[in-house]
């Protein structure tokens, strides 16, 4: 971040902090105001971390998700499984008897 971007970010965070303070005075410590105050604090912490970085910010990699492989057999199902079931295929509704 350039120094002008840092100054602008700090100014914007200061204005946000003042606005949230006004909301807290008006509404008290209701959950919505507390969440906003927490969000401003989190942004301030994140901004500080950005300033400390050497060089451009590095993109975060998405966490790897281990996926379970489920094997579906290609053998035919037992015909009794489909007993009393309706066929809703491409041809529309058709009741099997």
Mind listing the pLDDT tens digit for each residue in 2-54? 778 888 988 999 999 999 999 999 999 999 999 999 999 999 988 888 877 74
Average pLDDT over residues 61-85: 78
Nearest Cα residue to 44 out of 34, 36, 32: 36
pTM of the model: 0.51
Cβ-proximal residues to 6 (8 Å cutoff; 6+ apart), any chain: 47, 51
pLDDT at 89: 63
């Amino acid at each position: 971040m350039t120094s002008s971007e840092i100054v602008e970010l700090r100014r914007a965070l200061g204005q946000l902090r003042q606005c949230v303070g006004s909301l807290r005075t008006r509404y008290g410590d209701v959950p919505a105001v507390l969440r906003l105050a927490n969000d401003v604090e989190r942004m301030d912490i994140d901004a500080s971390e950005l300033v400390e970085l050497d060089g451009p910010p590095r993109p975060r990699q998405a966490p790897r998700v281990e996926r379970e492989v489920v094997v579906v057999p290609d053998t035919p199902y037992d015909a009794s499984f489909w007993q009393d079931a309706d066929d809703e295929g491409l041809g529309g509704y058709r009741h099997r008897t």
